[in-house]
Amino acid sequence: MYKIVKKTWLIVILILGLFSNYGFTGENDNPFDPESSEAIGSIFHQELQKIRGSRISVQEKGGRYAELGESALEVPKAYPLAIEAFEEALKMDPMNSKANFYHGILKPFLHLRGFSMRLSKILSPEAVSQLTFSAVNDEKDAELQKIISEFLHDANHRPIFKTMTEFQTFLFSELLPLLEESKRKMDVALRDPTFKIKFVISRWDNPKLWSGHQGYVIFDAIDVLSVKHVCEGLIFFIKIFSAYDLDALLNLRNEFTNKEGDTQKEVIEAIRKYPSFLTLKKGFALSLKEVLRDAPNAIEGLRLIGKMLKNDTVRAEKLFNTFKTESDYQDFLDGLTKATEVISGPFEVQIEANNAENPNPKKILVNGTVFLSKPIPDLKALLPREFSKNEKIAKSFPDQTFGGLIPNGDFISSLCALPKEVRLAKGFCEDEERQK
C-alpha cells in the first residue's frame, strides 16, 4: 500500500507540472522565473490588475487570464497562484478550453494540500513520516523538495482527521464534488477541436528522463479524455469507500498491531464488539447503484481512448504513446472485455491452479455486482460463528452465498473438495489445520 501511495504522489507532482502550456519561445521568457517567492506573488497580482483594467473584450480578458495562469504553472514556486487566474478566466469566458483544463486538474489537487498531515492519526505518525521522507528525498532538486514538503504538511489550519467518518466525509462531501466539476470541465475542453498544449519539462523534471522528447510534451484530446476518466475512477472509489461505517478500524488496528498469534475467532469477535462497524450508511445505497450505472460508460470511454491511441501513430512528442504492437492493443481490449463481464453479472472465477494434467481447472460463479445493486445492510452478518479447534479457520458461514456474491453457494464446498496443493484460496478448509 505504501509503495502505491508513494508512486501515486510522485505521479501527481509530475502531472502538476505537465499540465502547463508554454506559449513562450524559451524558458527565460516567463515573468515568474527566476524571481523569489515574495516577488512572484507581487508580480502575479500586478498582472491580474493589468488585465482587469485593460480595455479589451470579455473573451480576450479570459484568454489573458488563462495565459497568466499558464505562466504561473510553468514555475514550481508560482503554481499555487495559478488557480486564481484560471477562475478569473472562467468568469470572463466559461468556454475557454485551456482554463477549463487547467482548473479541472489544479482545483482538486490543491484541495489535497496538507493531506499527509491530516491523515497522521489514521495512517499513524510513523507511516506519514516515512511517506513524506520518501516523497521529498526522491526529488533531488532542493527547491522542489521544499515545495513537496510544504504541500504535504501545510494543512492551512484544516483539522487532522480524527475518525474514519471524518475522512470519508471529506472525500465524499468535499473532494468528490470537485472531481465531478473537473469531469465537466474536461468535457468543455474536449469541445475544442484544436485543443493542444505544449509543456516544457525542464522546470519540473529532467528532460533526459523522457525518451524521444525534446524537452517538452504535447497534450491533446487523448490526455483530456484520460484526465476525465481518472476523475471518474476516483469518484467510483470514493462512493464505494464511503458507503460503510469504518470507524472501528482505528481501534482494531491498535488492538492487533504487533500482536502475535491472533486467530480468526479473536479478530471476528473483536469486530462484533462495534455494532455500527461495517453497516451501510444512510443514503449510500444510491451511491453504490450509481457506480454500477456509470461503470459501462467509463469502460466505453477507455475503449475510445485505446482506439484513438491506435489510430494516432505519430505521437513521439505526446505523453501517451501509441500501442507498440497489435498484440498490446488486443490485450488492452481483452482487459476491458473482462471488466465488462465483471459489471454485467455472474462470471467465472478460477479456484484451482493450472497444471499440465488438468487443463480444465475448477471454477465457480461470482456476482460482484450484488454489493452495488443490492447493498448488504450489515456486512458483519456474513462473518462466521463456528471455528476449528485452533480457532484459525472458520467451520461454517451463516450465508454460503456471501450475500449473493457466490450465487450457487458452492465456494467452500468446491474449494475444500480440491487437493490442498492446488487450491488458490487458503484459510477456508479444516484440513489445513490438520496439516499444520
Of 434 and 357, the one with more pLDDT: 357
- For the chain, the C-alpha Rg in angstroms (whole number) is 26
Share of the chain above pLDDT 90, in %: 54
* Residue pair 191/95 in contact by the 8 Å Cβ criterion: yes
Residues 96-113, mean pLDDT to the nearest whole number: 94
Confidence of residue 2 (pLDDT cuts 50, 70, 90): very low
| pLDDT above 90 (res 225) | yes
What does the pLDDT look like over 31-64, one tens digit per residue? 776 666 678 889 999 999 999 999 999 999 999 9
Q: What is the pLDDT of residue 24?
A: 32
Q: How far is CA 205 from CA 14, 52, 69, 175, 322, in A?
A: 7, 33, 20, 27, 23
What does the pLDDT look like over 244-265, one tens digit per residue? 999 999 999 989 887 877 888 9
Of 97 and 314, the one with more pLDDT: 97
∠ CA 404-406-407, nearest 5°, is: 65
Q: What is the value of pTM for the model shown?
A: 0.85
For 36, half-sphere exposure in the C-beta direction (CA atoms, 13 angstrom radius) is 2
Q: What is the pLDDT of residue 277?
A: 98
| pLDDT above 90 (res 153) | no
Of 367 and 150, the one with more pLDDT: 367
Q: How far is CA 424 from CA 261, 294, 354, 400, 421, in A?
A: 23, 32, 10, 18, 9
Residues 415-429, mean pLDDT to the nearest whole number: 89
Average pLDDT, the chain: 85
How many residues does this entry show for the chain?
A: 436
Of 324 and 406, the one with more pLDDT: 406
- Which grid coordinates are listed for 295? 461503470
Closest CA to 276 of 245, 243, 253: 245
Task: Identify the weakest region by mean pLDDT among 232-246, 261-275, 316-330.
Answer: 316-330
Q: What is the pLDDT of residue 21?
A: 35
Confidence of residue 77 (pLDDT cuts 50, 70, 90): confident
Task: Identify the weakest region by mean pLDDT among 18-27, 237-246, 298-307.
Answer: 18-27
Confidence of residue 16 (pLDDT cuts 50, 70, 90): very low
Confidence of residue 177 (pLDDT cuts 50, 70, 90): very high
Delimit the domains of the chain by residue range: 2-241, 345-436
Q: What is the pLDDT of residue 213?
A: 56
